């Protein structure tokens, strides 16, 4: 292959990569051409070809910068937002599904719309703690911690949420602000009222969990850590799904039995804890029909 043919072949390759959107690879090929010309002292009539290749590298660099700097989360049309909300809410329970839909919108960067949805859920009294926590997360993701603080103060002043919920939220936002190096005075929430459920005291320490790992203490997989997505959480009790085909595993979890090693994963941290099987039941209807719903109460180590 002559030098000219080799250059043409590299050029063709670079052009195709570019047309495929493989800009890094395209740039590498253009550079390879320049290096080949220099290394082999290829005789050229003039510098036009070198200039043209340098121009192509510049154009590819522009494309790469454009991709790098493109907005990751543009505001989507309302119908697309609704579609996201519908497609990513899986629960048959209306309130849980509404939370899932709003969380999906937040995860896709549609924070303003998600905030509206969470606010509506709080007003309707639908899983208010989950909704409120996610509202605060939205404000923090939007890098507007002051909005999160204002929101929290409003809840405290208007007594829109229960005392237990407010205490939990205060701990949550306080941790988040501390991590961001923000010092602020948050309003105190009333002291624990005597007669309040004791579990609420425990609730304060349990974060919003996304998944848990449980070390199996018996059965053929004894010692294995199995991971489960948390499908629902109320205070320190989480629900996870065990597929019907893993009936043998489901049978290992007897109500009341202790779990000595539970790895808890939240957006904030991963930590080891203990647990107790609060209940297990076969799901009789809905998309998870036939699977098992396992409830675990997370206890302190």
Partner 1 sequence: MAVFNVRERVIECKLVFYGPGRCGKTTNLEYIYKAGKKYTTSDMVSIDTKGDRTLFFDFLPIGLGKIKGCEVTVQLYTVPGQQKYSSTRKMVLKNVDGVVFVADSLEVRRKANVISLKDLQQNLAEQNMNIFKIPLIFQYNKRDLGAEGLPILPIEVMEKDLNGKLKVPYCEASALKGDGVGATLKKCLALTLSHLQKELQWSR
The site for partner 1 (CB under 8 A) is made up of: 9, 12-13, 16-17, 20-22, 25, 28, 63, 66-67, 70-72, 74, 76, 80, 83-84, 87-88, 90, 104, 107-108, 211, 226-229, 241, 243-245, 287-291
In the complex with partner 1, the residue whose CB is nearer, 175 or 229, is 229
Cβ closer to partner 1: 47 or 285?
285
Residue 281 token pair: 């039941």
Residue 287's Cβ-count burial label (10 Å; 0-12, 13-18, 19+) is exposed
Minimum CB–partner distance for residue 265 and partner 1 (Å): 9
Least distance CB 272 / partner 1 (angstroms) = 18
Token pair listed for 30: 């253009």
* Closest approach of partner 1 to the CB of residue 183, in Å: 30
User: Max CA-CA distance within the chain?
Assistant: 93
Q: Which helix (H) or strand (E) holds 38?
A: helix 23-39
Question: Measured between alpha carbons, how far is 272 from 285 in angstroms, rounded to an integer?
Answer: 33
3-state secondary structure 126-159: CCHHHHHHHHHHHHHHCCCHHHHHHHHHHHHHHC
Rounded to a whole number of angstroms, the minimum distance from the CB of residue 230 to partner 1 is 11
Q: Is 112 exposed, middle or buried (0-12, 13-18, 19+ CB in 10 A)?
A: middle
Q: Of all helices (H) and strands (E), which one includes residue 248?
A: helix 247-250
Rank residues 122 and 238 by Cβ distance to partner 1 and give the closer one. Answer: 238
CB of 291 to partner 1, least distance (A): 7
Distance (Å, whole) CA 74 – CA 95: 27
Tokens 């893993």 -> residue: 246
Closer of 11 and 50 to partner 1 (Cβ):
11
Residues in the chain: 301
Measured from the CB of residue 218, what is the shortest distance to partner 1 in angstroms? 19
C-alpha 92/C-alpha 125 separation (Å) is 18
Measured from the CB atom, the residue of 21 and 125 that comes closer to partner 1 is: 21
The residues, ordered by sequence, that sit 6+ positions from 40 with a Cβ below 8 Å of its Cβ are 3
Q: Closer to partner 1 by CB, 115 or 241: give it.
A: 241
CB of 16 to partner 1, least distance (A): 6
Extended strands (E) in the chain: 209-215, 225-234, 237-242, 258-266, 270-282, 292-299
| Cβ-based neighbours of 59, under 8 Å, separated by 6 or more | none
Q: Which is nearer to partner 1, 121 or 240 (CB)?
A: 240
Taking the least distance from each CB to partner 1, the nearer of 99 and 161 is 99
Residue 296 CB, nearest distance to partner 1 (Å)? 14
């Amino acid at each position: 292959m002559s030098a000219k043919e080799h250059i043409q072949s590299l050029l063709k390759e670079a052009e195709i990569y570019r047309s495929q959107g493989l800009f890094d690879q395209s740039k590498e090929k253009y550079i390879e051409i320049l290096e080949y010309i220099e290394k082999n002292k290829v005789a050229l009539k003039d510098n036009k070809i070198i200039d043209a290749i340098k121009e192509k590298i510049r154009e590819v660099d522009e494309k790469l910068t454009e991709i790098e700097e493109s907005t990751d989360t543009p505001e989507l049309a309302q119908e697309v937002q609704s579609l996201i909300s519908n497609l990513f809410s899986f629960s048959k329970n209306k309130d849980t599904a509404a939370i899932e839909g709003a969380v999906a919108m937040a995860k896709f960067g549609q924070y303003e719309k998600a905030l509206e949805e969470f606010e509506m859920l709080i007003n309707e009294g639908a899983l208010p703690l989950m909704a409120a926590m996610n509202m605060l997360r939205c404000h923090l993701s939007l890098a507007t911690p002051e909005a999160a603080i204002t929101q929290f103060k409003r809840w405290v002043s208007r007594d829109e949420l229960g005392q237990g919920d407010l205490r939990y939220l205060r701990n949550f936002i306080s941790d988040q602000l501390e991590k961001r190096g923000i010092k602020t005075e948050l309003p105190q929430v009333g002291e624990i009222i005597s007669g309040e459920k004791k579990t609420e005291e425990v609730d304060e320490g349990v974060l919003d969990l996304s998944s848990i790992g449980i070390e199996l203490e018996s059965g053929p997989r004894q010692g294995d850590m199995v991971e489960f997505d948390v499908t629902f959480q109320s205070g320190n009790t989480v629900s996870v799904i065990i597929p019907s085909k893993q009936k043998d595993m489901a049978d290992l979890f007897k109500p009341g039995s202790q779990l000595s090693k539970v790895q808890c994963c939240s957006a904030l941290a991963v930590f080891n804890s203990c647990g107790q099987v609060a209940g297990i039941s076969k799901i009789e209807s809905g998309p998870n029909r036939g699977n098992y719903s396992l409830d675990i109460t997370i206890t302190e180590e």
